[in-house]
Homo-oligomer: A and B are copies of this chain.
Amino acid sequence: MASIRALALNCTLKPSPAPSSSDQLAREVLAELAEQGVDGDLVRVVDHDVRFGVSTDEGDGDGWPDIRAKLLSAQILIIATPIWLGQPSSVCKMVLERLDAELSETDAEGRHLTYGKVAGVAVVGNEDGAHHTIGQVQQALNEVGFTCAAAGTTYWVGEALHTVDYRDAGPKPDTTGRTTKALALNSAHLARLLAEQPYPPPGTGGAGVGPSRDPA
């Protein structure tokens, strides 16, 4: 059975050692992945000097290349982000923009390096914004080559116009905890499938229907 690793990126706006609800939920996801036999790392992006940009390396001390190296050796990426104004954080957007560079990177057979990697999304906020934040992050990750498993998300928010954070209100085993388990179960399964049987190279006829035509 393929060995699977996970990388969780905490996209809070606050550098360490400030407490972070996204950190708490990311750790819960990694704990559930560990139950599925998946080892993982957790990186708080804002602690590293990641630069705005859309390349794999913006140079001059850019913190992204080290994070990217961890990503390339993982089969599961977890994006953990707080919600601000009902939307993913600017740090999360910065990460997604850096992943845009992967559209220019391919293996020897023409597949993006992200192909076959599974992405999960974990979102926390005081109140509202989780579904939209999940939608934004999933759309961007799918666009740059990741696959999201069924039920591949988890989130917590409080009642409308309230102000309590997950790190004070959580954990929530009957609601968020349940979706976190499903995220881990399905993402680990899908990551193993794709590690063992990768997407075919573009231009592949597939399904035994004969030689390839135009490269995709």
Give chain A's interface residues, CB within 8 Å of chain B.
1, 13-14, 35-38, 46, 52-54, 84-91, 93-94, 96-97, 100, 112, 114-116, 127-132, 134-136, 138-140, 142-153, 155-162, 172-173, 175-179, 181-182, 185-186, 188-190, 193-194, 197, 199-200, 202, 204-209, 213-214, 216
In contact, B185 and A189 (Cβ under 8 angstroms): no
Number of copies: 4
With A52-B13, A84-B97, A130-B160 as known contacts, state yes or no: A38 contacts B207, CB within 8 Å.
yes
Q: Do B147 and A178 touch (CB < 8 A)?
A: no
CA A116 – CA B38 in complex, angstroms? 21
- In contact, A149 and B182 (Cβ under 8 angstroms): no
Complex CA gap A209/B149 in Å reads 21
A124 smallest CB distance to B (angstroms): 9
A87 touches B197 (CB 8 A): no
Q: Name the CB-closest residue of B to A161.
A: B175
28 contacts between A and B (CB under 8 A): A13-B54, A35-B206, A35-B207, A36-B209, A37-B206, A37-B207, A84-B96, A85-B131, A87-B96, A90-B90, A115-B150, A115-B186, A128-B128, A128-B131, A129-B132, A135-B136, A147-B147, A150-B199, A155-B160, A160-B175, A160-B176, A161-B172, A162-B175, A178-B214, A181-B214, A185-B200, A189-B199, A193-B197
